[in-house]
Amino acid sequence: MKGTLRYLAGIAGPNGFGSRSTAEQVTQHSFFPCSHLTAIITGGTSGIGAETARVLAKRGVRVVMAVRDMKKAEMVKERIVKENPEADIRLFEIDLSSLSSVARFCSQFLSQDLPLNILINNAGVFSPNLEFSEEKIELTFATNFLGHYLLTEMLMKKMIDTAEKSGIEGRIINLSSVIHSWVKPDCFSFPKLLHPIRYNGTRAYAHSKLATILHAKALSKQLKDRNANVTINAVHPGIVKTGIIRAHKGLFTGKVKLFNHTYI
């Protein structure tokens, strides 16, 4: 309860930051190595992804935006470069719901022979209706989890090699959600999830976010066993007016706010 009140009041925690801290404030005194870091961010055309891209570019990080809508990405890039003419922004197309598109993106990125220090698996969708990807996989799960899983797997060797050569710890960030706690241990059931009549978009979203956390936990152990200088974390960003929240206001945001305050 005490932590909840501190969060609601925006009171800073032990690290000096609170719920009202901005990305610029958090990174203001961070140490960024002289060697040019490279970060891949999925879903960088709006919300958390766009702000992350802007601030990392401002701190001198080369930002690779992996996006579905190249036109929107060009607009975001233009705004970032206008604010910071020295920004190094690269745009690559990807549809995370399509495994072939993910594989194509990885092939294109790896052909550039760039280092890879940071991978931010940020993009996500929420669909109130039952939809399927081109591989006939439920769309929310395909986009939020499977696409990022394949992306991470295909880029893992590059991240490990970059960390070994540079001596700089690699970072993988999976954007998750406190809503994962809505999935009970005995309810991770795809047949129930795919019922055409009783399909529940919020439940599907929760399943995808739980899978994202389980992926981070499993991969963290694998990286440790390999003595790789790369870490992975799953993070709950709090309630932010992202595209998902704006598009589906009222469907589950009120409940998420309640769980968000309880969780913190």
pLDDT tens-digit map of 154-202 = 999 999 999 999 999 999 999 987 675 657 666 666 677 777 778 888 8
d(CA 10, CA 72): 32
- pLDDT confidence of residue 253: 47
- Is residue 144 predicted with pLDDT exceeding 90? yes
With beta carbons less than 8 A apart as the criterion, state whether 136 and 142 touch: no
Please state, for a pLDDT cut of 70, what percent of the chain lies above it. Answer: 72
- Is residue 14 predicted with pLDDT exceeding 80? no
- pLDDT confidence of residue 18: 67
d(CA 238, CA 10): 12
DSSP 128: S
Cα torsion 238, 15, 62, 58: sign: positive
Task: Give residue for tokens 């439920």.
Answer: 138
Q: What is the mean pLDDT of residues 216-242?
A: 86
- Is residue 60 predicted with pLDDT exceeding 70? yes
Catalytic residues: 199
Q: Which carries the bigger pLDDT value, residue 125 or residue 236? A: 125
- Is residue 7 predicted with pLDDT exceeding 80? no
Helices (H), the chain: 2-9, 23-27, 47-58, 70-83, 99-111, 139-141, 147-166, 190-193, 201-225, 243-247, 253-263
Q: What is the mean pLDDT of residues 97-109?
A: 98
- pLDDT confidence of residue 32: 60
Classify residue 157 as left (phi > 0), alpha (psi -120 to 50) or beta.
Answer: alpha
Comparing CA positions, the residue from 139, 126, 67 lying closest to residue 98 is 139
- Is residue 26 predicted with pLDDT exceeding 80? no
Cα torsion 109, 47, 1, 205: sign: negative
Give the pair of three-digit tokens for residue 118: 């940071």
- pLDDT confidence of residue 256: 42
- Is residue 149 predicted with pLDDT exceeding 70? yes
d(CA 255, CA 168): 40
Task: Give residue for tokens 């930002």.
Answer: 63
